Structure 1
Amino acid sequence: MMKLKRHLNLEKKISLFVIAAALFSGCGNEQEKTDYVARVNNSFLTRDEFSHIIDTSVASNVQKNEVIRNWIDRELVYLQAKKEGITGNKEYNMLIKDSEKELAGSFLIKKISSGTKLNYAESDILKYFEQHKDEFRLNSNSFFLNLISFSDEDKAVEFRAMLLNSNWEKAVNAFRGDSSIEEIHSNIFLREEDIHPVKVARVVKRLYPPEISIVISDSERYYTIVQLLGKYAKGTLPPFKIIKPEVKERFIDEKTKEVVDQYIRSLYSTNDIEVKY
């Protein structure tokens, strides 16, 4: 789990991997694996598979360990289910068949989505925001902030001292490439419930812009500094420039969905379809 923000897509990636493993288990000859990050009996999580679940170049050790633990848990349950004959029953195989269709369909939709080039201007994003303002009103207290976490307390103290005497950009540049940095976020907009651990969230709620927090330590021995840039109450509409990334993401998602829907409609004309009640 990310210290700062919970990502449900991580769980989805792991679930997708497990479903795929179940679908294709037994296909081909099992080769000896030596380059792996985890093993349960004769099941392996290879480095290549691991990097497909999580971006190992930016993920912290905590995030990597969480992914590995989830994989081991799921693999243990899956292997036990095989021992108890679950994978041989009719209901399971019907579900696998449906899952195979869902998985294949998901890959096709992903292929179409990734191959779609949308033509739009920045003004289109602003126009979309203006047309959907009420939908972007906050459903919880939210914060616009800078955040950095270290695995070394002394480095965290040093960073905070530099930040107090300069600014965020200069401090970050001075520490760029430091191996003790676990994660760093500049100008990020977060709902209160998305700030983790809870200890950091509590400190953030007590800050006033542009206040800089103390060094916040947590149970996982990470040391975090937060600079609050703005706070916005539930029910308010944040400035466009702050939530522009979220607006843009939603705008692109809707435009991409329109392309996918149009593609699916085109399949109706090339297939023989009959509906009988």
Structure 2
Amino acid sequence: MTNCVKLLHNIPNSIILFSVVLIIGSCSEKKQKTEFIARVNDSYLTGEAFASLVDTSGLTTEEKNNAIKLWVYDELLYQKAVSEGITKKDDFLRIINDSKRKLAGSIYINKIIDDEDFDVSDDDLSKYYEKNKLYFRTDEDYFKLNKIYFNNEDKAIKFRNIAVESGWQNALNTFENDLSVIDKLNLQMVKESNLYPVQIAKIMKDFYPQEISVVITERPGYYSLVQFLAKYGKGSELPFESIKEEVKRRYKAELKTEAIENHIKELYSKNNIEIKK
């Protein structure tokens, strides 16, 4: 039998959460079933129940099989716990009740957030950035670059030749509808620690602006090349346009936090609350 501990470590968090829900909520079917994925005594895991708890479209066959095995392990433990009377003990009931309160509150907060309009304009973002530049200083070296990926090495070499002779943008225009292009990143800001593959990380520090790397084989059938644009040392303020999405995420997160705090204050004022010292 597959090592349970090893299996637990190798399964995505979504599956672990799924197993916890199964234990706490006892989601498995108790009546006799003819169509099911797995069974432990009189407890059944149906395809419908499995799909409602795990996004099966994003799982590999191995991950699905591991998720089912994990359900079996969980159900074995749950049934044994029930037979030992654990689910009727005060500490178990206390934890369940506390979890229900927190879960209900979290779901309510998510509903409040979903109902709010957090659309922000570019002008709002620019003002927020100017006011909070300190938060956007680099904690390590950053590199601004263009990068393109090919599934054909000869096409990657041809792209580089054009880019070197007449510019990166001209090469992009030439390969605009070429099916060998897997992906392309334009004007990306990347931390030094996130530079990949290793060959790029090693040579990037010695590049000069507009320099283009050789074609790098990241893995069979996957070829990339990079154009270095600029470097920002540790402690630098990154240009707004380069980190606009990061600014937006941070600003919207603050707006959401503020909305939650304001809603709690409103609830506080509308309810009879007494805290004894």
Coarse TM-score class (shorter-chain normalised):
0.5 to 0.7
Higher relative contact order (CA 8 A, sep 6+): 1
Alignment of 1:100-179 (within 5 A): 101-118=101-118, 120-176=120-176
Partner of 2:236: 236
State the alpha-carbon separation in 2 of the partners of residues 246 and 273 from structure 1: 39
Alignment of 1:170-209 (within 5 A): 170-176=170-176, 180-209=180-209
Relative distance call for 1:228 and 1:84 in structure 2 (3 A) is same
1:109 CA displacement = 3.2
State the alpha-carbon separation in 2 of the partners of residues 264 and 247 from structure 1: 26
3-state SS of 1:253 partner: helix
State the alpha-carbon separation in 1 of the partners of residues 183 and 93 from structure 2: 42
Kept after mapping to 2: 8 A contact 1:199/1:218 = no
**What whole-Å deviation, never above 9, does each CA across 1:108-140 have from its counterpart, x for those lacking one?**
333333332246543332222222222211111
Kept after mapping to 2: 8 A contact 1:204/1:228 = yes
Relative distance call for 1:112 and 1:149 in structure 2 (3 A) is farther
Partner of 2:73: 80
1:200 CA displacement = 3.6
State the alpha-carbon separation in 2 of the partners of residues 228 and 49 from structure 1: 39
Relative distance call for 1:269 and 1:135 in structure 2 (3 A) is same
Range that drifts further, 95-104 or 113-122: 95-104
| Equivalent residue letter for 2:257 | K
Partner of 1:3: none
Kept after mapping to 2: 8 A contact 1:19/1:99 = no
Does 1:49 find its partner at 2:42? no
| Equivalent residue letter for 2:191 | R
CA RMSD of aligned residues (A): 4.2
| Equivalent residue letter for 2:245 | P
TM-score (norm 1): 0.66
3-state SS of 1:157 partner: helix
State the alpha-carbon separation in 1 of the partners of residues 176 and 202 from structure 2: 28
1:221 CA displacement = 5.1
3-state SS of 1:225 partner: strand
Kept after mapping to 1: 8 A contact 2:19/2:74 = no
| Equivalent residue letter for 2:110 | K
Gaps in structure 1 of 5+ consecutive residues: 1-10, 35-40, 54-63
1:104 CA displacement = 4.5
Gaps in structure 2 of 5+ consecutive residues: 1-11, 38-43
Partner of 2:28: 26
| Equivalent residue letter for 2:28 | G
Identity of paired residues, percent?
32
Range that drifts further, 176-185 or 127-136: 176-185
State the alpha-carbon separation in 2 of the partners of residues 156 and 31 from structure 1: 55
1:70 CA displacement = 6.2
Partner of 2:257: 257
3-state SS of 1:218 partner: strand
Relative distance call for 1:81 and 1:17 in structure 2 (3 A) is closer
| Equivalent residue letter for 2:76 | K
Structure with higher Rg: it is 2
| Equivalent residue letter for 1:268 | Y
1:257 CA displacement = 1.7
| Equivalent residue letter for 1:151 | N
3-state SS of 1:228 partner: strand
1:258 CA displacement = 0.9
TM-score (norm 2): 0.66
Kept after mapping to 1: 8 A contact 2:29/2:45 = no
**What whole-Å deviation, never above 9, does each CA across 1:31-66 have from its counterpart, x for those lacking one?**
9689xxxxxx96867599245x6xxxxxxxxxx76x
State the alpha-carbon separation in 1 of the partners of residues 195 and 34 from structure 2: 43
